[in-house]
Amino acid sequence: MRRLIGMFVLGVVTLAVPASAADTAPYYLALGDSLAIGVQPVNGTYQPTKQGYADDLYALLRFKKPSLKLAKLGCLGESTTTMIAGGKCSYSAGSQLNEAVAFLQTHRVALITLDIGADNVLGCITLAGGVDLPCLQEGVSTTLTDLVTIIQTLRFAAPTVPIVAMNYFDSYLGAWILGPEGQSLAVESLQLTTAFNDALENLYTTFGVKVADVESAFHTTDFTTVPFLNLPLNVAVALNWTWAGAPPPNGPDIHPNAIGYAVIAGAFAKAIAGF
């Protein structure tokens, strides 16, 4: 049922995807962290799936360009640093960024999507320890510095190919249901998520990269109480569109479920409509 709902969410933005995004070349190249390969917890282990945002966005783009192909180079746990230098996943070119450049040099690509940076800061927020501000500050600084290298490298390799990057949702909002301590962490994590997203958006805009507004799509800042649930809307979304509210062995977990990935794909589709 969630998958059906997710595809319905995608359906409402289908008209926003222009033919030009897929007509210029036969490949859509998805780069980034675990979200770029649709990772979900399966019996307590992380598994790439075909229910990720790249898969859903690809399905939409193929309505306009049936011959389009999808290439996913994402990596579970990839940070901006490992994307540049390698070391997290195995690539013949040594790193995901090098692999992407090699792919761009040997294939015709119509669109590049990117999500990266979350793994630079995820370890800085825990229920037991709260928020480690020095860790977070270092993570944000590294993210922004590395992103300049990543974007400039991709742009040099593909000067005319549209690049669309995303900001992030906040799965830690799910901690709200754990009581006062969890609610305090949820509020603090939200403040940090929005600040991180603002920094990402400013950098992407500076380099002419469109931003898929996943923060807004997940109602991340909306604390309006949902009738009958007695929960803020953003908390309810985090619990229902990610694995944050799932019991073991699949949860609690920060990754989106199928409907969450579909919503992310919808945010990308809206951003692509601007090209």
Q: What is the pLDDT of residue 224?
A: 96
pLDDT digits (tens, 9 = 90+) for 125-165: 877 677 888 998 999 999 999 999 999 999 999 999 999 99
What dotted CATH number matches 2-272?
3.40.50.1110
d(CA 143, CA 149): 10
pTM comes to 0.89
Q: How far apart are CA 12 and CA 77, in angstroms?
A: 32
Q: What is the mean pLDDT of each run of 10 residues along the chain (275 residues)?
A: 42 41 69 98 94 97 92 98 97 98 96 97 80 90 98 97 97 91 91 94 97 98 94 96 93 95 98 72
Strand stretches in the chain, DSSP E = 27-32, 40-42, 45-47, 69-72, 109-115, 125-126, 130-131, 163-166, 210-212, 225-226, 231-232
The 10 Å CB-count burial string (b at 16+, else e) for 171-199 is bbbbbbbeeeebbebbeebbebbbebbeb
Q: What is the pLDDT of residue 25?
A: 52
- For the chain, give the mean pLDDT: 90
- 32: DSSP letter: E
The pLDDT value given to residue 131: 80
Where residue 213 falls (left for φ over 0; alpha for ψ -120 to 50; beta otherwise) is beta
